[in-house]
């Protein structure tokens, strides 16, 4: 009887040992990406703000990547793009929560440096999207070539004005690397390539359509002979468009905007807006998440990635290329 019990115990031990062999390595999430133990990866995606058409599109891209790669996404941004202190606190909160990665669109190229370094020191990888930052400790930087976008804006405005005229620039926010680069590209291209075009005024719209309306109205009042405007982001372009409409200057003052929204696209269709330079925010969100997943898996990650951009006019608005880019603002598909 004793021998039978011993034999039965040995068989049971052998079965348990064999079952244990099936537990090698961490479990795999959908898409083949490893989770940490039994818990899925969790990334914080922190935009500059959560409004306009741009940032919800970034969110859709980030969530699509999360779904595909087995990552839980926490989406939390500041109340508007001027609130860098609020954004700093969000990053600190995510460090305290011990998230597995942070995707950040910094409101300021300098003010977010310390908290990004704190995240990296806490072994939390960071990818930067949309706007540059004054450190290189991040995994990857995914954004539009914003200087080139400003160059495109200057050349388009010069083209529609016959390479001469008086123009103004509606800037965004001091310290924002992405929009500062656009503004520099616009300003320097006018100076280098179009000597007969005068930049007679520059004002910050503070990434608010109401403030942009106010400053554009003041510029138009002070410069009744103004021929054109370049607005460096979505709310700036909306504010400039409304100011021109309010003063019955549609057609007389040409506007080149930046970003896509139903209001801006409607303006292109009815001729009140000459054109707008459209980015790919979906890809920024998607690739920002994917870069950290790849880095955690030991795969090679590009340090800098430029996403798609297109000058959209009435002539090419319905083209396949432009419609494909615009569809990213509505559809949840990998780019």
Strand pairing partners for 170?
Answer: 203, 231
| 271 and 153 share one domain | yes
Output the CA torsion 296→297→299→303 (10° steps): -20
With beta carbons less than 8 A apart as the criterion, state whether 60 and 92 touch: no
In a domain, 18, yes or no: no
Beta bridge partners of 169: 202, 230
DSSP helix/strand/coil, 287: helix
Q: Are residues 291 and 264 in the same domain?
A: no
User: Which pLDDT score is estimated for 50?
Assistant: 87
Q: Report if residue 12 sits inside a domain.
A: no
Are residues 77 and 138 both part of a single domain? yes
Task: Say if 216 falls within a structural domain.
Answer: yes
Q: Which two tokens stand for residue 334?
A: 């990998």
Per-residue pLDDT tens digits of the chain, which is 335 residues long: 333 433 444 334 433 333 343 333 333 333 445 444 447 899 999 999 988 889 999 999 999 999 999 999 999 999 999 999 999 999 999 999 999 999 999 999 999 999 999 999 999 999 999 999 999 999 999 999 999 999 999 999 999 999 999 999 999 999 999 999 999 999 999 999 999 999 999 999 999 999 999 999 999 999 999 999 999 999 999 999 999 999 999 999 999 999 999 999 999 999 999 999 999 999 999 999 999 999 999 999 999 999 999 999 999 999 999 999 999 886 433 33
Residues 262 and 300 in one domain: no
Q: DSSP secondary-structure letter at 159?
A: H
> Running DSSP on this structure, what letter comes out for residue 22?
G
Cβ neighbours of residue 317 under 8 Å, at least 6 residues apart? Answer: 265, 268, 269
Q: Is 150 exposed, middle or buried (0-12, 13-18, 19+ CB in 10 A)?
A: buried
285 in the same domain as 242 = no
In a domain, 158, yes or no: yes
My answer on whether 159 and 212 are in the same domain is yes
Instruction: State which H helix or E strand residue 127 sits in.
Output: strand 126-129
Instruction: Please tell me the total count of domains within the chain.
Output: 2
The alpha-helical segments, DSSP class H, found in 275-330 are 281-296, 320-327
Q: What is the CATH number of the domain that holds 288?
A: 3.40.50.2300
Give residues with Cβ within 8 angstroms of 232, minimum separation 6.
Answer: 150, 153, 169, 170, 171, 172, 179, 182, 183, 186, 258
**Residue 6: what pLDDT?**
36
pLDDT (0 to 100) of residue 51: 81
Q: Are residues 151 and 266 in the same domain?
A: yes
Query: In the numeric block, which tokens belong to residue 151?
Result: 């160059």
One domain, residues 160 and 273 = yes
Do 128 and 200 sit in the same domain of this protein? Answer: no
CB contact at 8 A, 150 and 158: no
Quick one: 46 and 96 in the same domain?
A: yes
**How high is the pLDDT of residue 330?**
62
Q: Is residue 261 part of a domain?
A: yes
Q: Is the separation of the CB atoms in 74 and 63 below 8 Å?
A: no
Return the pLDDT at 17: 35
**Domain span including residue 198:** 146-278
| Same domain membership, residue 267 and residue 286 | no
Looking at the domain assignment, is residue 259 inside a domain?
yes
> Closest Cα partner for 100 from 130, 139, 61, 134?
139
Establish if 316 belongs to a structural domain: no
pLDDT at 7: 41
212 with 289, same domain?
A: no
Question: 258, 278, 298: which is the final residue of a domain?
Answer: 278
Asked whether residue 298 is assigned to any structural domain, the reply reads: yes
pLDDT at 30: 38
> What Rg do the C-alpha atoms of the chain give, in angstroms?
25
- Alpha helices for 49-176 (secondary structure H): 54-69, 84-96, 113-121, 146-160
Burial class, 175, CB count within 10 angstroms (exposed 0-12 / middle 13-18 / buried 19+) = middle
């Amino acid at each position: 009887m004793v021998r039978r019990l011993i034999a039965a115990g040995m068989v049971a031990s052998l079965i348990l040992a064999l079952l244990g062999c099936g537990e090698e390595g961490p479990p795999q999430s959908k898409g083949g990406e490893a989770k940490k133990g039994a818990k899925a990866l969790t990334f914080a995606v922190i935009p500059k703000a959560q409004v306009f058409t741009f940032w919800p599109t970034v969110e859709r891209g980030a969530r699509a990547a999360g779904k595909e790669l087995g990552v839980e996404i926490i989406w939390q941004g500041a109340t508007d793009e001027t609130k860098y202190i609020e954004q700093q606190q969000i990053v600190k909160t995510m460090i305290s929560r011990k998230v597995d990665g942070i995707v950040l669109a910094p409101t300021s190229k300098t003010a977010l440096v310390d908290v990004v370094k704190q995240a990296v020191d806490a072994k939390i990888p960071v990818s930067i999207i949309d706007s540059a930052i004054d450190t290189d400790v991040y995994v990857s930087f995914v954004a539009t070539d914003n200087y080139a976008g400003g160059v495109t804006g200057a050349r388009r405005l010069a083209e529609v004005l016959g390479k001469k005229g008086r123009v103004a620039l509606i800037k965004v926010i001091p310290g924002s690397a992405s929009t500062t680069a656009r503004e520099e590209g616009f300003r320097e291209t006018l100076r280098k390539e179009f000597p007969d075009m005068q930049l007679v005024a520059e004002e910050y719209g503070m990434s608010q359509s109401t403030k942009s309306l106010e400053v554009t109205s003041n510029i138009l009042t002070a410069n009744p002979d103004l021929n054109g405007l370049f607005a460096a982001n979505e709310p700036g372009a909306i504010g400039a468009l409304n100011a021109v409409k309010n003063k019955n200057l549609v057609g007389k003052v040409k506007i080149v905007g930046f970003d896509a929204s139903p209001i801006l696209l409607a303006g292109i269709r009815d001729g009140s807006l000459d054109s707008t330079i459209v980015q790919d925010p979906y890809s920024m969100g998607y690739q920002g998440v994917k870069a950290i997943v790849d880095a955690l898996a030991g795969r090679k990650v590009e340090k800098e990635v430029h996403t798609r951009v297109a000058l959209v006019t009435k002539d090419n608005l319905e083209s396949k290329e432009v419609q494909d880019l615009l569809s990213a603002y509505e559809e949840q598909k990998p780019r």
